[in-house]
Amino acid sequence: MRQHRLEFVEPGRVAVLAGPAPHPTAEQVLVETRLSAISPGTEMLIYRGQWPSEVTVDATLNALAGTFAYPLAYGYCTVGRVIATGSAVPGDWLGRRVFAFHPHESLFCALPSTLHPIPDDLDDATALFLPNMETAVNLLLDGAPLIGEKVVVIGQGIVGLLTTGLLARFPLAGLTALESHPLRRAASIRLGADVCLDPAAPDLSARLGAIPGQGGQADLVYELSGNPAALDTALALTRPSGRVVVGSWYGSKKVALDLGSFFHRGRLTLISSQVSSIAPALLGRWQTSRRLDVAWEMLRQIRPQACITHRFPLAEASLAYALIDRSPGETIQVIFEHQCADGL
């Protein structure tokens, strides 16, 4: 068997490298990947060389240890099957379908404690959305939407769409999404947004009841576009004492904000949300295991596999990233289909 793995080689270029299959230690299992998904937010920052300097890749995941530097293996949405086990691993792991927070790789070894068995009632494609659904669950925990509130979600990439899908289950007074691309606007309506508007529309402020210097009508705004300029829009749409949850990771892109007018007087709250941790105020009741259980259940309810717009073999990874980079409006979720370990 041969292993094939994807590496980001330099800005704008990825490569698929072949090597011998790894062998599990006594405590590990060998996983054969079936599907892996591109995270269009984080992975495009890496593809474009826009990561911030002196930042660890992910301090919470062993498979993503180290700092950002080319060449870099990255990715965290992998579904596969355990095809071999070490001598110290219980035999019931053999043959299990599992999810792993692991880079794009056809074969890899892992400790069973780092793998998540996929429930029998969920297919592989649905399980791929686990990390982004967990992120969406975390965004709702941090934003704490209340009955009767007006909520705006800026950005309808996959995290934005899943967040919209969760918010649509709340008894809100209104749920508005903002998205530049028509394909994603249509998906937003399917997932439950009352309306999804183009943020470039000249009458956007008027349609959302925002008055320059006086704020808007939204009690809660999520900024999930990855566009630094959208954060100013979020502040402008928020009513006095409202809150803005920033789920975007801007990487090395700088953010210029107008904090000298309504923000100060309006007592707006900016909330940073990132899935690697749970808000301290919730830690007495919430743990990552509980959040993960909720994410699995939300996958059952929303069934987001319809958001998969493109499937590529791993060998064509360069085409996949180029498509997302140059034609983002044509994509929502792009995934890789891995062939058996004997060939690419």
Mean pLDDT by 10 residues, the chain (344 residues): 94 96 97 96 91 62 66 95 97 97 97 97 98 98 98 97 98 98 98 97 90 90 94 94 93 82 88 93 95 98 96 97 96 92 42
Coil, strand, or helix at residue 277?
coil
Give the pLDDT of residue 342: 44
What is the helix, strand, coil percentage profile of the chain, to 5?
30, 25, 40
| CATH numbers and ranges of domains, the chain | 2-128+304-337 (3.90.180.10), 132-280 (3.40.50.720)
- Say how far apart CA 32 and CA 25 lie, in whole Å: 16
pLDDT at 9: 95
pLDDT, position 53: 63
pTM over 0.85: yes
What DSSP line would sit under 53-94, residue for residue? Answer: TT-BS-TT-GGG-SB--SSB-----EEEEEEEE-TTS-GGGT
Q: Which helix (H) or strand (E) holds 241?
A: strand 238-246
- How remote is the C-alpha of 101 from its chain's centroid? 12
Q: What is the pLDDT of residue 252?
A: 78
